[in-house]
Amino acid sequence: MARDGKKINTIAFVTYPGLTLLDLVGPLSAFYGLDWPQVRPEAHWQTVSVGDRVEVIDTDTPMRLIPEKTFDEVPHPFGIIVPGGGAAALEAMTNDAIVDYVRTAAETAEVVGSVSTGAFILAAAGLLDGRQATTHPAYGELLKKLGANYVRRNWVEDGRFISAAGVSGGIDMALYLLARLKNKPIAKRTQTVIEYDPDPPFGGIEQNGGADGNGLAATVVEHQAKLKRALAERPHLHQKLFG
Amino acid sequence: MARDGKKINTIAFVTYPGLTLLDLVGPLSAFYGLDWPQVRPEAHWQTVSVGDRVEVIDTDTPMRLIPEKTFDEVPHPFGIIVPGGGAAALEAMTNDAIVDYVRTAAETAEVVGSVSTGAFILAAAGLLDGRQATTHPAYGELLKKLGANYVRRNWVEDGRFISAAGVSGGIDMALYLLARLKNKPIAKRTQTVIEYDPDPPFGGIEQNGGADGNGLAATVVEHQAKLKRALAERPHLHQKLFG
């Protein structure tokens, strides 16, 4: 509750070591217009990054980050967004602090979202059983094994749950959410402010031969092997993923 | 020089208080494939964020960042990229530490780039006189006054100088640079890894009525007024911009 008596709706970005920085910063920046007061002024809106501890963590780039708050400090956010992280996201599936937070926060959240392999953390929390969800296309088959109804799309919504395939999918998804939570003009204005007018110089991904065509399949196999070892003490997840 | 005797080519991201985080993280993430050793293995490649001091700075989001190195520690990078920052970028034009670093680093750099209003910092360093350059469309007219040959495009290259209009333009530009510095398959593979397959839910920016159609013109006027005050002691820049 803010000083003016209004409710504060918080969108929490869940951080963990090794996350893909752009999966977090893309949607975070697209939420730029969330607190413009002209629309739905009955509440304040804010974003916050949350982590197990408020300390420096590595990302997939040389840049590191410090989450602003601990999980305990933001127990009931309006929404949570879990960024991807390749092998690091799969590893996070075995981290109780992260998975427990996501499960608990999701119970009361009105928006539960993921970007790329962040979907695996939602799945590990048991949130995607039978739900339509997407992830990085290279990981689609693996997500199915966790009970999700994987669809290959830029982003997909299923009730309170929404997932994006990655990077630009995360921005697209956030602009859509902005239109849903505020309105479409705000979403469009945000798109103009952040000058999101994409034109990839070598075309889209389909035209590039897809994930396997670019040799990503080998990377996924390598990540799966790591995950298999990491899940040795999690027979339930191990059984689901590797039979 | 690395331990194996190879040259190290560094791309330095120039940071300053209030920068637009996504303008930095977009290209940074698209340079992910820069050090894949299979192509042009005669050198190592790395990215680094540089700032006046190694201390926490604010960004346009609630997330803050700490540059990894000081300007002094990276005097002659292979390339520099200056992210935008709206009013904060215009204010950075009056910061000698930043402008001097950009000017000096640009003397020896093979790539001198900007994203969005980062172009104003290149212009303040006298680097865009008569050159083709782009910036956020809302700021195009202002950039012309600084002597740049403004073109409204996603990104534009003029010799060693390259500038992007913003966000996705910065990613597009970085993928193009990756193809130029390494090769096109590496750029395509990176695009797949970061799953950059954009599909804005409400179409492109042109269709949204452009910057002015979304009320950005008023913001720019406000930024200009701030800049005018900030430039009181910089008669040379003040004269160029405001006559």
B166 and A196: CB-CB below 8 Å?
yes
For chain B, give the percent of residues with pLDDT over 70: 94
A192 and B176: CB-CB below 8 Å?
no
Shortest Cα distance, chain B CAs vs residue A34, angstroms: 11
Contacts of A171 in chain B (CB under 8 A): 167, 198, 200
- Nearest CB neighbour to B168, from listed A176, A185, A198: A198
Predicted local distance difference test score (pLDDT) of residue B55: 93
Residue A212 has pLDDT above 60, yes or no: no
B194 and A32: CB-CB below 8 Å?
no
Residue B117 has pLDDT above 50, yes or no: yes
B195 and A169: CB-CB below 8 Å?
yes
B187 and A202: CB-CB below 8 Å?
yes
B165 and A197: CB-CB below 8 Å?
yes
Nearest residue on chain A to B212, alpha-carbon basis:
A192
Nearest residue on chain B to A191, alpha-carbon basis:
B205
Shortest Cα distance, chain A CAs vs residue B205, angstroms: 6
Nearest residue on chain B to A185, alpha-carbon basis:
B214
Closest to A152 measured CA to CA, from A167, A169, A165: A165
Residue A235's pLDDT band, with cuts at 50, 70 and 90, is confident
Residue A209 has pLDDT above 50, yes or no: no
Span A133-167, pLDDT tens digits? 999 999 999 999 999 999 999 999 999 999 999 88
A208 and B192: CB-CB below 8 Å?
yes
Those residues with Cβ within 8 angstroms of residue B207's Cβ, 6 or more apart along the chain or in another chain? none
Span B46-56, pLDDT tens digits? 999 999 999 99
B198 and A171: CB-CB below 8 Å?
yes
Chain-wide mean pLDDT for chain B?
89
Residue B178 has pLDDT above 50, yes or no: yes
Q: Is A123 helix (H, G, I), strand (E, B) or coil?
A: helix
A216 and B192: CB-CB below 8 Å?
yes
Shortest Cα distance, chain A CAs vs residue B200, angstroms: 5
List the single best residue of B63, B68, B219 to mutate versus A (max A Cβ within 10 A).
Answer: B63
Shortest Cα distance, chain A CAs vs residue B30, angstroms: 9
Cα angle value A62/A175/A82 (rounded, 5°): 45
Q: At what angle do helices B167-181 and B184-193 cross, to 10 degrees?
A: 140
Contacts of B48 in chain A (CB under 8 A): 62
Residue A207 has pLDDT above 50, yes or no: no
- Nearest CB neighbour to A175, from listed B25, B179, B200: B200
Nearest residue on chain B to A12, alpha-carbon basis:
B62
A46 and B68: CB-CB below 8 Å?
no
Chain-wide mean pLDDT for chain A?
89
| Burial class of residue B157, CB neighbours in 10 A (0-12, 13-18, 19+) | middle
Report, as an integer, the average pLDDT of A115-119: 97
Q: Which residue has the higher pLDDT, B204 or B155?
A: B155
Closest to B11 measured CA to CA, from B184, B150, B182: B182
Span B21-49, pLDDT tens digits? 999 999 999 997 787 766 667 788 999 99
- Nearest CB neighbour to A25, from listed B21, B49, B209: B21
Rounded distance between C-alpha atoms, residue A216 and residue B57, angstroms: 36
Enumerate helices (H) and strands (E) in chain A, giving the number of each: 10, 9
Q: Is B231 helix (H, G, I), strand (E, B) or coil?
A: helix
A202 and B184: CB-CB below 8 Å?
yes
List the single best residue of A117, A176, A197, A216 to mutate versus B (max B Cβ within 10 A).
Answer: A197
Q: Which residue has the higher pLDDT, A80 or A217?
A: A80
Which of the residue ranges A143-157, B126-140, B197-211 would you say has the lowest mean pLDDT?
B197-211
Report, as an integer, the average pLDDT of B124-133: 97
Rg (CA), chain B: 18
Rounded distance between C-alpha atoms, residue A131 and residue A146, angstroms: 11
Residue B209's pLDDT band, with cuts at 50, 70 and 90, is very low
Report, as an integer, the average pLDDT of A89-109: 96
Q: Which residues in chain A belong to E strands, given as ranges? A: 7-14, 43-51, 69-70, 79-82, 111-115, 132-133, 149-150, 155-158, 161-164
Would you give the DSSP letter of residue A63?
-
Highest mean pLDDT (candidates A215-229, B79-93, B198-212, B220-234): B79-93
Predicted local distance difference test score (pLDDT) of residue B208: 44
B192 and A169: CB-CB below 8 Å?
no
Rounded distance between C-alpha atoms, residue A50 and residue A10, angstroms: 11
Q: At what angle do helices A21-30 and A167-181 cross, to 10 degrees?
A: 30
Residue A101 has pLDDT above 90, yes or no: yes
A29 and B61: CB-CB below 8 Å?
yes
